[in-house]
Structure 1
Amino acid sequence: MIESFVRRLRVEKGYSPHTCRAYDHDLREFFACLAEEKGADEAGAGAVTPRRIRGYLGLLHKKNTKRTIARKLAALRSFFDFLAEQEMVDTNPAMRVQTPKQEKTIPGYLTVDDAFRLLDAIETDSLAGKRDRAMFETLYSSGVRVSELVGMNWFDLDADQRLVRVSGKGGRDRVVPIGRKGISAVTAYREALWREKVVALDQDGPLFLNRFGGRLTARSVGRILEKRFRECGIPLPVSPHGLRHSFASHMLDAGADLRALQEMLGHRKLSTTQRYTHIGIDTLMAAYDKAHPRK
């Protein structure tokens, strides 16, 4: 039933492979823990109670963050909803278990000066340098997720209109603007690939390639970014997601509309966009001085 459930997530719901793997692991871990505690005869779905789920979550608190625990509980809720639809259980026991209260954290992000410092420090006298400059210019100027970045193909890019089509979470496509710096860097990288006879200019395929000519992975992008941080001397590197957060913060600080930013980031809920943005104290003070009648 776990296999059927995960297949449904992938095929019908359009969940990413990463999410499907996580849900599959979480469910198998739960039932393995249940079998170890109660014995195989008592480890079936019909024997699961809210109390058993709470006991399992209590064990997780020793080694997992609240965010991870919340994800594992979400996997159980979705799975038991699926079983209820199949009439294999009468009720969903996970619905009677409260989600752990989440810590409100602000993702790491760069100042505008540090973002420029990072990008300008990437030398472009090699193919790898041209790729990395193009990759991080694109990430910072469009605000896409790293999974969306590595999933881009050459034909997804409209250089004349400065737009790129990305496939987001749940298979939802959207079109986002990309800055002139990003377009220029991507074009230079593509022309270098053509000169070295790696690709033809009219050939579709992955936009960013690894040294073997295949598509880069999100993990590789993270490692490359860490290396570039060390080279430019910024002491506190951020993840590729931090560049996305930097994009959102800098756009908002410069006066971008929050709803437009929501569309560019591909968020379903405006509250998610608000969580990913950061307003500096200078921006807050300027807004206060401009708007308050008794300042």
Structure 2
Amino acid sequence: MNWELLLKQFKNYLKLEKSLSLNSIDAYVHDVVKLRQFLEISNKESSPARLTYNDLTDFLVFLSELGMSPHSQARIISGIKGFYKFLMIEEIVTNDPSALLESPKLGRKLPDTLSFPEIESLLNSIDLSTAEGTRNRAMLETLYSSGLRVSELVELRLNNVFGDQGFLRVLGKGNKERLVPIGREALKYINIYVKEIRCHLVAKPGSENHVFLNRRGASLTRVMVFTIIKNLAKDLGMKKSISPHTFRHSFATHLIEGGADLRAVQEMLGHESITTTEIYTHLDRDYLKQIIKDFHPRS
């Protein structure tokens, strides 16, 4: 089956038969495109007629691992169900593997994903008149701009910040290196911190090359970053329980919801292959930068 043809027919069905708005039509089509991208990434059978319920649940697990919120997963399930309803009506398939899919529970508040306005509120609440505030703004901008793990943030080295190219070299799990795009706002605050604050600190032995230091010149700990974020949220009156990982999940969720390619987001996060085989080729760095530019809310 030709995916492009099916998507075109599906779009016409939503427009002519369902009379949906252009925004709703685009959202439904993008949901199906995400499914197709997942199938390509995982080397699964890509024909809609041969997909199984297990294939679709694997897709939802993958989205959850990327950090997509249950609300967003529920919307995507709705899109997939709509696609299979169309395929059944047109007698393109005889079996609907999406029939048993259930939406995630939506009743509870989510502690691990923030909206863009909430991210903005947190960042703007930081007091830039203090040395610690300038450092904290640079750290959180970096977390949200590049989707780093907290361990990757505290281990970030000065010689691994390539401002001219707009990339960070990150040492992730299993000592695997990757290059991650970083936005202009994050680079701006890193430069301010390094040139105006960090340069006056005497770094402790072993911390000379770390980007982020405490007031005594030692590299930060993971616990300290957790505490900084918790206190910011508390001072702002946020009810959600957030952590450094919240910024990583929000980074992925906002990119995916904006339409970014799943494979690009997976590479930027440094996720392992979701199959036992290496399933994607090395992506062009200019392409990853373009993904950030096109789809990140703070690009």
1:236, distance to aligned residue in structure 2 (A): 1.1
> 2:202, 2:216 within 8 Å by CA — same for their partners in 1?
no
The change in CA–CA distance for 1:118 and 1:260 in structure 2 (over 3 A counts) is same
* Alignment partner, residue 10 of structure 2: none
Q: What's the counterpart of residue 248 of structure 1?
A: 252
Deviations 1:149-193 (A, max 9, x none): 111011110111111001000010001001111000100101122
Task: Please tell me the residue identity of whatever aligns with 1:110.
Answer: L
Aligned pairs for 1:1-295 within 5 A: 108-193=112-197, 196=200, 198=202, 205-270=209-274
In 1: Cα distance, 2:152 partner to 2:249 partner: 15
Q: Distance in 2 between matches of 1:193 and 1:137?
A: 16
Q: How far did 1:219 drift?
A: 1.0
Q: Is the 8 A contact 1:143 1:243 kept in 2?
A: yes
Q: Deviations over 1:263-292 (max 9, x none)?
A: 000011348xxxxxxxxxxxxxxxxxxxxx
| Rounded Cα–Cα distance in structure 2 between residues aligned with 1:194 and 1:168 | 24
1:239 CA drift (Å): 1.1
CA contact (8 A) 2:111 2:241 kept: no
Question: CA RMSD for the aligned pairs?
Answer: 2.1
- Whichever residue aligns with residue 214 of structure 1, its letter is A
* CA drift at 1:211: 1.9
Number of residues of Structure 1 aligned to a counterpart in Structure 2: 165
- Which ranges of structure 2 fall in alignment gaps of 5 or more residues? 1-103, 276-299
Partners of 1:198 and 1:191 in 2: CA distance: 14
Preserved contact between residue 262 and residue 270 of structure 1 (Cα < 8 Å): no
Compared CA separation, residues 206 and 195, structure 1 to 2 (3 A)? closer
Are the aligned partners of 1:259 and 1:270 in contact in 2 as well (CA < 8 Å)? no
Report if aligned partners of 1:163, 1:178 keep a CA contact under 8 Å in 2. Answer: yes
Matches of 1:124 and 1:198, distance apart in 2: 21
| Cα distance in 1, alignment partners of residues 225 and 175 from structure 2 | 21
Structure 1 residues 93-152: Cα deviation after superposition (integer angstroms, max 9, x where no partner)? xxxxxxxxxxx9977110111011111111211110000000000001100110111110
**Paired AA for residue 166 in structure 2:** R
1:162·1:179 contact (CA, 8 Å) conserved in 2? Answer: yes
1:38-66: CA deviations, max 9, x gaps?
Answer: xxxxxxxxxxxxxxxxxxxxxxxxxxxxx
Q: Which residue of 1 aligns with 2:7?
A: none
Task: State the distance in 2 between where 1:121 and 1:188 align.
Answer: 17
Contact 1:155 1:204 in 2 (8 A): no
Runs of at least 4 residues of structure 1 off by over 2 A? Answer: 104-107, 193-199
Structure 1: how far apart are the matches of 2:260 and 2:186? Answer: 19
Contact 2:135 2:193 (C-alpha < 8 Å) held by counterparts:
yes
Deviation of 1:196 after TM superposition, in Å, equals 3.0
With normalisation by structure 1, the TM-score equals 0.53
SS of 2:114's partner is coil
Higher RCO, Cα 8 Å, sep 6+: 2
User: Which blocks of at least 5 consecutive residues in structure 1 are unaligned?
Assistant: 1-103, 272-295
* Amino acid in the other structure paired with 2:152: E
Percent of matched pairs sharing the same residue: 42
Deviation for aligned residue 1:198:
4.1
